[in-house]
Chain A
């Protein structure tokens, strides 16, 4: 089948999808910028670590500095003016955007006729995509709360004293990797999939495939316990619990081993609660893509089935 450029253009040119394109561009840009700065700072750090004498007198920034310059910059007017310029540019952008790409209206509401696909706004498409893999309770409530909770917990479990106030990669590899994984993979990527890959019927359409609402796919979902031939609800529930909780436990144990070997400083600095929270969050974060893979590749829907919730 030929590559359907028209279909691709139809989706990417939708006014609805402008924010996500901007976001993709912005993410890319800031990733590059952050790493550029981080690499610069890391070079300086290496330099200073090698040369203690220099370290004593250096101004600790990769940018040039003259002693006659002030070390402290006042917020007013120096920060504010930059912010003001940014505000002006954003305002101009928004005005022009509002004029040239007005919000499209859909047909008059008809309760008997649902649009296909019925997509959430772009900032929720990541969550909508997660619904494919998780129970709504998990995808819509537990995971977002975990995300928020996790983000809130970071200051309390982050015991790495380095990397405060300057870009660096070397000194904060773990934090940056973890965050990038959580943001780029578990948020941006899912949103992009939800916007451009998921088509009518929430079916998977690679770019260049025509979005055909009448397409038929054969996907038989099964639950994990079915692979083992279990049917009794009690057995299934217990099995699922064992797999899930056990899996988390195993994961945490594995992480523990890894931490002790590769991140001893963190291990030593954190108290038990902090450590357990850290391990727990890491395991859960890794479990999400694991479950995604299980669904996409092996068509396994839930690993723990109970009458009250599924995982």
Chain B
């Protein structure tokens, strides 16, 4: 076939196929192809790498900042150099320089000469020396060989004929004439001639001379080095000094830019003061005062100038990746964008912005640069010391997608496919929890510590198991299971023994009987022994169970006392809505349904109240419940006792319209509404003791006749409350009870006829079980009920599908907010739409764990919306708590962090013995609210000190309980144990204060278990970094002269210790007493501590009233002995350290009388 394309013929229309040109579309398509390929390459190289422009920005920002910083440091450096102190040091250095200059230069020149000469001489003799070595070897070898073979008689190469030729050769080489040329330091060229052998020896000599000359040079330089070091060291020391910063005069420049004088920096002072007012002194020091020298800053700046983001191909590739092989090959590339995170020079957003403004950046550029991206990690010093990012990465703590760098959303894990999105700023401490789950108080983690305290205080653990909070419950379950197992095993074995007995009895034949009996009897004996063993084990397990019940504390009070404790008319109102009866109630509000009566009380609430009332103990059943209390108390006196003795460290109350006191225990405003007088008296006298014991074995409370028959170790006598025993005398307790019970509101309640209605019992019990009352309270019949909530220990890892958003699922996904107007108790709108689309915006929706938790905490029945419930018991059961904004955020942080960690156990934090002791101790400290009265960590202010009647400059020693900071260093461990068991040291209610008798407030008796005391003792020792096993040093006796001196110092003419302390000679406190009784010192204080305390108390407790009365014998010599500051005749003949003397004296004081 031919290609007939009649192109030339005009009469023929063009062939639609042959003459159709595809050039244009093909050309366009080809251009499109080339374009799209180029686009793809551009995507790869640049567009899909948004961090490249960020890195370019960073270079810009950091260079600007470092340039400014360099100038500031150089200025400051310059300003420092204008100070007189520097000038004198500088002058001194210059003087030394001038004085030693000639000698130094001369010696240096001589050294240089020697150096040159040695070098060129070495070159000159090199070859000849080598030749001599070879010839020497030949000579020796030849001589030795000849001697060995017997040819010669001598082995000495110098004498041996065999070596003669070699030796001659050596001599010939040594005789050679050689010369060498070297240049003096002055430039003069010297040519020296000589004979090789002599020159070789000269070389060795010159080397020695060179070394010695070097030493001489060093000695000559020493004064100058020292002077320079003094001067430069002073600069380095004062670089970060704010004082110098403010006082150093700044040079003024004249028209030509030359320094022309100095000015006083008053403006600088004002600027600093303003900034400190804005950000706080501590922050100012952290962020705005760097101590890096100008040269360091200059080096950093030069390094920044060389920084490259890396071209597409070739060039310097910089990795900003952290790869931790040990932790499951963890990879984090956060620093690709967060380039300043580990910057040596700390940078804040404000300081970067200021630098940009200083450098006069255009406003648009400042707007478009994200300065917050480049700031250095906050608290880098303290955090990175323990959490090295190179070993831990970033996303272990922050979550997010460490390997993602394409977009911010992907890198932060904020798409629905990454299960661990970045923790928002509100919840930043969530990442701490996975490793520090055992730490109820985390030093350095204030928000998470607060969260854990809130979890404890609000009583969440009453319903929701959480590891650590309710370990007694977990152990109880185990123990009870074991008891059941053992009992079943016993039944089985007993049945088996019976069967064997029956078998033997059923055999008539004597012969068969003789065969069967021995093995059968052996079996039965074995079973009998095993049963006896089981019985023992059961008995022990019962004791363990009782002691676990003993240790266990509960969120709410024991409801078995309701009949004698409560005024019955208030009970139903309380059950229905505790917040109405008492605004700050810890008990949350439950939801009620169904009919209401004319008083607004739900029938359901009445049922529950009736159940509680009827299940409580009555005096008819238990005579111990027939309470009596002395009459005639004075409410006014009671108020005084109440305020002084320490009740307000835990309890709160409203006084004159203001709320005062602690938040740990219940608020006692209008407590008289619900509390009976007799019960108040009984409770204050002995809160930790039950009226009748509970037997877990029998599952009920026992009357006297019953419990006398039982093993006492299986009885539970301790109340599940944390309120300690104040050791109040009957009078005081009577007065306080009178005071409290007359705190009443004027609300009128109806007579509760329904409380004794037995028909309500069943429904009430059903509702009580359903609502989980027994999780927080002890109720008769329901003692072993567990909480009804889900376990929260790993709640953060719960897959999103398992969180029931109910009908709000779509709303959550699409960002519709059902609680937009919901406000917290302190007036915050937590769920208002965030302005703009900042990082904390919900990214469109709240369909994530954080959203779930926050909404659930705000309105626990939110997810019941629109659900159909056939029965009311199918509804959500979580009651509504009063929560502030901070509490919601903190609890959410805590739950978000409670995860099944991705980090392998081997990489996790394993506390050492001391760390574990501190951990265990904090649980007890938080549980019993030691921080209500005492300072446990520096900076914490106890509730007691925040009461409004203390003056700002109150004498702490006189009125406040002592600080617990350093307690382990101060006090002996066995003393702590004894004191914690009984702070009155045997005095009971008659002498309730033993150690600090001047205080109105007193340490109550907590009735700790032995285990708790041991943990606290170890906690104190570990917190003070003391060894656990204390080896008390020997404290000797005093000689006669020493005794005289000690007595003199002790007496009023010396330190007058008895002015503030109690001891032999002053046993009762007066207006001046403000210190402990020193009769206990020998049992209580550690001599090492006394040795530091006595000379300089203010170094350890800056507020103390104790004076410093000792000085060093040789001032400024830390090794000379301490002596009393006022010379006394008794000094004569005493060579011992006076402080040591006083320690021995105090140790010699007699015990306080009982």
Contact = CB atoms under 8 A, between A and B. Distances in A.
B1105 interface: no
Nearest to B804: A214
Given A6-B814, A95-B37, A106 B417 contact: yes
Contacts of B952: none
Contacts of B809: 212-214
A85 B20 CA distance: 14
A187 to B, nearest CB: 31
A69 B40 contact: no
Contacts of A69: 4, 12, 15, 18
A107 B419 contact: yes
Contacts of A70: 1-5, 15, 18
Interface of A is mostly: loop
B600 interface: no
A53 interface: no
A92 B26 CA distance: 12
A96 B12 CA distance: 43
B9 A68 contact: yes
Interface stretch (A27-35, A71-79, A153-161, A176-184): A71-79
B26 A85 contact: yes
Interface string A92-120: 10011011000011111010010010000
Contact of B810 (A106, A113, A210): A210
Interface stretch (B28-36, B562-570, B746-754, B763-771): B28-36
A105 B18 contact: no
B904 interface: no
Contact of B22 (A82, A108, A110): A82
A63 B17 CA distance: 12
B26 A81 contact: yes
Contact of B3 (A6, A74, A96): A74
A257 interface: no
Nearest to A86: B29
A82 B25 CA distance: 10
Nearest to B29: A88
B32 A92 contact: yes
A84 B26 contact: yes
A88 B16 CA distance: 22
A89 interface: yes
B6 interface: yes
B417 A99 contact: no
Interface string B808-827: 01100010000000000000
A78 B417 contact: no
B418 interface: yes
A66 interface: yes
B17 A78 contact: yes
B3 A113 contact: no
Contacts of A82: 22
A8 to B, nearest CB: 14
B1103 interface: no
Contacts of B43: 99
B17 to A, nearest CB: 5
B29 A89 contact: yes
B1065 interface: no
B905 interface: no
Given A74-B1, A88-B26, A68 B36 contact: no
B799 interface: yes
Contacts of A66: 12-13, 15
Nearest to B419: A107
Contacts of B418: 107
B29 A78 contact: no
Nearest to A90: B29
A107 B5 CA distance: 62
Interface in A186-225: 210, 212-214
Given A70-B18, A74-B1, A214-B809, A99 B33 contact: no
A89 B16 CA distance: 22
Interface band, chain A: 35 or more
A91 interface: yes
A66 B19 CA distance: 13
Nearest to B807: A214
Interface string A46-87: 000000000000000001101011101110001001101100
Nearest to A115: B801
Contacts of A6: 814
Contact of B33 (A68, A81, A91): A91
A43 B940 CA distance: 98
Contact of A88 (B15, B30, B40): B30
Among A68, A84, A108, A110, the one with the most B-chain Cβ atoms within 10 Å of its Cβ is A68
Contacts of A113: 799, 801
Among A64, A66, A104, A105, the one with the most B-chain Cβ atoms within 10 Å of its Cβ is A66
Contacts of B26: 81, 84-85, 88
Contacts of B17: 73, 78
Nearest to B418: A107
B661 to A, nearest CB: 48
B234 interface: no
B25 A63 contact: no
A230 B33 CA distance: 67
B39 interface: yes
A64 B17 CA distance: 12
B417 A92 contact: no
A85 B24 CA distance: 10
Contact of A85 (B1, B13, B22): B22
A48 B801 CA distance: 69
Contacts of B37: 95
A214 B801 CA distance: 11
B6 A68 contact: yes
B12 A85 contact: no
B846 to A, nearest CB: 16
Contacts of B25: 85
A97 to B, nearest CB: 10
B876 to A, nearest CB: 16
A260 B16 CA distance: 45
Nearest to A4: B810
A107 B799 CA distance: 11
A92 B18 CA distance: 27
A98 B40 CA distance: 9
Contacts of B39: 95-96, 99
B633 to A, nearest CB: 62
B328 to A, nearest CB: 13
A183 B147 CA distance: 112
Contacts of A85: 22, 25-26, 29
A99 B40 CA distance: 7
Contacts of A210: 810
A98 B417 CA distance: 20
Contacts of B36: 91-92, 95-96, 99
A195 B37 CA distance: 32
Nearest to B799: A113
Among A68, A69, A105, the one with the most B-chain Cβ atoms within 10 Å of its Cβ is A69
B12 to A, nearest CB: 4
Nearest to B806: A214
B417 A104 contact: yes
A95 B419 contact: no
B213 to A, nearest CB: 72
Given A70-B3, A106-B417, A63 B16 contact: yes
Contacts of A92: 29, 32-33, 36
Nearest to A87: B29
22 contacts: A64-B13, A64-B16, A66-B12, A66-B15, A69-B15, A70-B15, A72-B1, A74-B1, A81-B26, A85-B25, A89-B32, A91-B36, A92-B29, A92-B32, A92-B36, A95-B37, A95-B39, A96-B39, A99-B39, A108-B419, A116-B801, A214-B809
Nearest 5 pairs of A and B residues by beta carbon: A88-B29, A95-B36, A68-B12, A92-B32, A107-B417
Given A68-B9, A98-B40, A108-B419, 18 more contacts: A64-B13, A64-B16, A66-B13, A68-B6, A72-B1, A74-B3, A81-B22, A84-B26, A85-B25, A88-B26, A91-B33, A95-B39, A95-B40, A96-B36, A99-B40, A106-B417, A212-B810, A213-B809
